[in-house]
Structure 1
Amino acid sequence: MKTYIFDLYGTLIDIHTELHNHKVWKALSDMYACYGAIYTPEQFKQAYLKFNKEEWKRVEELHPDTYIDIQFKNVFKRLFDEAPIHTEVLPIQDIETWLLFVETEFRRLTRIRCKPYRNTIKTLQTLKQQGHQIILLSNAQRSFALAEMGICDLIPYFDHMYISADYGIRKPEKVFMQKVLDDHQLDVCDCVMIGNEVGSDMQVAASCGVTGILLNTAHRKEKVIQKELESLQQEYPNFQYQIITSGDILEILGE
């Protein structure tokens, strides 16, 4: 049995989000107003951008020289706490549940496209039928990832999921993948990391001694990708990799 460790976005799911739409900020400011936190749409947008940037800076200062990840709920909590005007409207009975709702609504409003790549489902089905283990290793917020995996019908195929915001670290931080290997006592010789980014997916695989398969779903020039991977191989001489330029992940099965 092999273990296939998959990235999510750009590998299994073709997704596009958009922040520069007035309707997004109007809907979010209206929602906050229902709970007494009053913003204009533009005020909400600017506060979100500011608080998001400051949250990244805060966490990076706590963990220097580490590829960290943040919890978006902290940004949305601060947006509520520091609203320009507060009025008594609807009380929030359970702040954690409310923040989860806000997160998922934010993602729904900003999501323009979300669909599995061609043959994503067929590949996962084939791997599962062959008895292989399938693990997710994604840089994401759990609320975003689970919702979008649900939309694309991917959840049933995964034996385990590792999502960066849950751990406060993200690829290519070595300890993120190492946790997967340690938790399940995996032999790196029996593992394959499949992703679409050299500096994230392939680097974390190389650092842990796991074979990498790079899916060129962005249709970058193969010569450029090859040069990046060769540079990575200089740092990790034993790193083995394969490039799939078509983006058809069924090719990893040799079909």
Structure 2
Amino acid sequence: MRYEVVLFDLYGTLIDIHTDEQATKPWQELWEFLDATGAHYDDAAHLKASFDQLNAVNVQEARKGAQHPEWIEPDVLPVFQRLYAAGGAVASERLAANAAWVFRQACTSTFRLYPGAVDMLNALKQSGRRVVLVSNAQACYTRPELVKSGLTKVLDRILISSEEGIRKPSPLFFLRALERELTTPDHALMVGNEVQCDIQGAASAGIDGVYLHTAISRQDDPAVCPQAALSLEGADYAALTKFVLSE
């Protein structure tokens, strides 16, 4: 068995999603939720301005002095707690997480598993392989979505960038996943829908990649990635499974 561990990206690889954090709706709903739970702002526009300012400081502080600041992933949850403080209230981590989830749901217009995703993961697991998530994401948004989609019960391990403090394409993120799985790059495969983050990032850690060119891949990403061991159009899990099981 060549590939003992198969690493997966989440959005655009296992889940089809569309979010818009600049739309009016999420800020209005967040404003209403904060107002009802003790944090008061004049309106949604003032709330958004405060969030943007607090978030910028959060990112700047986390990335200060880093050799590769673009690889650092700060957790956004403290920003929601600071929103409460700026609005004259004190928020527990749970209340801040609830506010973040209200915001995330209001941002999201499309959310679904790609057809066959769970069956594919189960087929790989039944063959003796382990399936591990390595996602650039905010845990306060993504953990509830993993539960909602049923993926929490299927994945053997979950690494989310905001919890790890580091993001793809850093090779350290991939190697951290392999270290926890007690395996080496030559026995791992990365599956993802972004050339730079997923395929090139994995390659920098010595890991083979399968590229899924899906509708939410980056617009400037090609249909075929020369660096990938296999390029597929769309979430072609049948071809992916055949490739993995043949190795």
Return the TM-score normalized by structure 2: 0.87
**Gapped regions of structure 2 (runs ≥ 5):** none
Counterpart of 1:32 (choices 31, 34, 48) is: 34
- Tell me the CA shift for residue 189 of structure 1: 2.3
Runs of 4+ more than 6 Å apart: 219-223
Secondary structure at 1:99's aligned position in 2? helix
Other-structure match for 1:116: 113
- Determine if contact 2:77/2:140 at 8 Å carries over to the other structure: no
Secondary structure at 1:131's aligned position in 2? coil
- Determine if contact 1:6/1:137 at 8 Å carries over to the other structure: yes
Distance 2:221 2:107 in 1: 34
Secondary structure at 2:10's aligned position in 1? coil
Q: Are residues 1:177 and 2:174 paired?
A: yes
Secondary structure at 2:214's aligned position in 1? coil
Percentage of identical aligned residues: 29
Counterpart of 1:127 (choices 110, 124, 147) is: 124
**Gapped regions of structure 1 (runs ≥ 5):** 234-239
C-alpha distance 221-175 of structure 1, shift in aligned 2 (>3 A): closer
- Tell me the CA shift for residue 34 of structure 1: 2.5
Other-structure match for 1:199: 196
Counterpart of 1:71 (choices 68, 75, 81) is: 75
- Determine if contact 2:25/2:107 at 8 Å carries over to the other structure: no
* Worse overlay, 204-213 or 55-64: 55-64
- Tell me the CA shift for residue 17 of structure 1: 1.0
- Determine if contact 1:118/1:248 at 8 Å carries over to the other structure: no
C-alpha distance 220-203 of structure 1, shift in aligned 2 (>3 A): closer
- Tell me the CA shift for residue 221 of structure 1: 8.7
- Superposition map of 1:1-255 within 5 A: 2-39=4-41, 40-66=43-69, 67-83=71-87, 86=88, 95-218=92-215, 224-226=222-224, 229-230=225-226, 233=227, 241-254=229-242
- Tell me the CA shift for residue 124 of structure 1: 1.1
- Tell me the CA shift for residue 184 of structure 1: 2.1
Q: Looking at CA atoms only, which structure, 1 or 2, has the larger radius of gyration?
A: 1
* Worse overlay, 106-115 or 216-225: 216-225
- The count of aligned residue pairs is 238
- Tell me the CA shift for residue 114 of structure 1: 0.9
- Determine if contact 1:222/1:245 at 8 Å carries over to the other structure: no
- Determine if contact 1:215/1:249 at 8 Å carries over to the other structure: no
Distance 1:158 1:188 in 2: 19
